[in-house]
Amino acid sequence: YRQVLTRQPKHAAAAHFLGLLLHQTGRSEEGMDFLEQSVQLQPTNPDFLNNLGTVMRDLGRVAAAIDFFRGAVDLRPEQLAARDNLGSSLKQIGRFDEAEDIYRGTVQRNPFHVRARIGLAETLQEAGRLDEALAVFQEALTIRPRDADLLHGLGVGLMEKGKLDEATDLFRQAVAIQPGMARAWLMLTQVKRQKERDVEMAGMEAQHAKAPQDSLARMQLSFGLGKANDDLKDYDRAFGYFAEGNA
């Protein structure tokens, strides 16, 4: 890419992909310069705008990223990746009404786009509209009844409502479909009091052994196993798992 830019300094694609490569290899600030250059050269390229927004958000510049995501959506309203990025970024900074509008627009355009339905439900949930959020999850499950993310999301909502038995069943369904879903295992330990070293606990231990060190999944499984061992009054093991989760 640098060789191309040496010969053709205004080669937008070379600048853009060099910027992405630098970001992916941990040189995000340097990559940002090339991404911005590519957008200056092709300001109406929605993919360039969306990618620049993604890197900005990764660097914590969420408000600035929103402008680029919105620009990408304005140029290509059907671009699902940009719509998802715009909705999640608006939700992240508490602009729930705007996020809701984006997600509802996405669902209207593509009723089978589960990520938008999850985003809409989570937006409503964070905005304090829990019953509406549950309705969105339940409607989505009529379309995709074996979607682990939907089952997990509905389970979290039902936990908030105090419906722990229903939540427990949903978390169990989620890990049966997607055994590596660490956050569902963690939630299962929060609604279930461990009474013995059962098959479920063995399943969680197996996933913990597979999870990469220092990963979010490993941390979540460590906290879940800490809680389960604490329930069993095996405090030495519990302490070890909690210590790993906090490391």
User: Could you state, in order of their start, the residue ranges of all structural domains in the chain?
Assistant: 1-76, 94-178, 196-247
Global pTM reads: 0.84
- Tokens 């010969």 sit at which residue? 7
In Å, how far are 160, 172, 202, 218 from 165, measured between CA atoms? 12, 11, 21, 26
Structure confidence at residue 247 (pLDDT)? 85
pLDDT of amino acid 41: 95
Name the amino acid, one letter, at 247: A
Q: Each residue of 25-41: b (16+ CB within 10 Å) or e?
A: eeebeebbebbbbbbeb
Q: What is the pLDDT of residue 2?
A: 86
Tokens describing residue 2: 């640098």
Mean pLDDT of 26-38: 92
Residue 187 contacts by C-beta under 8 Å, 6 or more apart in sequence?
152, 155, 156, 159, 167, 171
- Thinking of the domain 94-178, which architecture would CATH place it in? Alpha Horseshoe (1.25)
Q: Are 70 and 57 in contact (CB under 8 A)?
A: no
pLDDT tier at 77, thresholds 50, 70, 90: very high
CATH number attached to the domain at 1-76: 1.25.40.10
Residue 171 CA to residue 166 CA, distance in Å, equals 9
- What pLDDT is stored for residue 3 in this prediction? 87
- Check if 1-76 and 94-178 are the same fold: yes
DSSP H/E element including 67 = helix 62-75
